[in-house]
Amino acid sequence: MKLLQERIRREGIVRSHDVLIVSHFLNHQLDPQLFLAMAKEWQKRFKGKRIDKIMTIEASGIALAVVAGLVMEVPVVFAKKRGSVTLDDDQYCATVYSYTQKKSYAIRVEKDLLKPGEHLLIIDDFLANGQAVLGLAEIARQAECVLEGVGIAIEKGYQPGAALLRERGLDVQSLAVIRSMDPQSGAIEFDEAEAV
Ligand code: 5GP
């Protein structure tokens, strides 16, 4: 998606080979107009699929998912990362390993919020090693929901996540796919096949 690529080029900061900072429009300050354009693009790409609910993970996925939910007219559920006072029996739970933080954390969704047979679309800001999406997919599996696809804002295509998810048969639609990043020059190369 050209619009997103341009924003990444203009305002993205290459912190390291693996870490892109997009605090000016996606992760800290948020650009609702850009989010709306992105949500419409996901709607186009998942057209024809039954989507009953969008699922994401706190915190960065929430804003994107809400705009997507508004456009697709479906509710949004987000997995919580923190522990909860509610009993574990009432929650679906999965473990996510974060390569950037080098630690695992639990994600939880109240069982009440996902009904067996519901068709879900996962939305998230970044796809790197695929662990966050796999955790959400595990929750969808426990809830006996049908996972229709995965909408990602920025995929770092040189990291293994996208291939891992596609190997599992998931329909992954990333709006910008980065082929390489150079922390020295700040240069970012995109996979132009995604630049609609
Ligand atoms: P994965 O589970 O695919 O390895 O990583 C996905 C999660 O890690 C995303 O939800 C995102 O919050 C975070 N993440 C991964 N790579 C980046 C990055 O380059 N920049 C930022 N800001 N977050 C990232």
Please write the tens of the pLDDT for every residue from 59-118: 999 999 999 999 999 999 999 997 555 557 899 999 999 988 899 999 999 999 999 999
Mean pLDDT, rounded, for 170-184 = 98
Whether the Cβ atoms of residue 15 and residue 183 lie closer than 8 Å to each other: yes
Q: Which of 24, 126, 174, 180 to mutate to test the pocket of ligand 1 (most atoms within 8 A of CB)?
A: 126
Q: Higher-confidence residue: 33 or 87?
A: 33
Whether the Cβ atoms of residue 97 and residue 118 lie closer than 8 Å to each other: no
* C-alpha dist (Å) from residue 130 to 30, 40, 164, 181: 23, 23, 7, 18
pLDDT of residue 138: 98
- Ligand 1 atom closest to 60 (CA): 12
pLDDT of residue 43: 98
Ligand 1 centre from 127 Cα, in Å? 6
Query: Is the bond preceding 59 in cis, omega lying within 30 degrees of 0?
Result: yes
> For the chain, what is the mean pLDDT?
95
Q: Quick one: residue 66, left, alpha or beta (phi over 0 = left, psi -120 to 50 = alpha)? A: alpha
Ligand 1 centre from 106 Cα, in Å? 16
For atom 23 of ligand 1, which residue has the closest CA?
126
Distance between CA 7 and CA 75 in Å, rounded?
28
pLDDT of residue 88: 75
Task: Name the residue among 15, 27, 10 with its Cα closest to residue 182.
Answer: 15
Q: Higher-confidence residue: 87 or 192?
A: 192
pLDDT of residue 177: 98
pLDDT of residue 115: 98
Q: How many CA atoms lie within 13 A of 184 on its CB side?
A: 0
φ, ψ of residue 160 to 5 degrees: the values are -80, -5
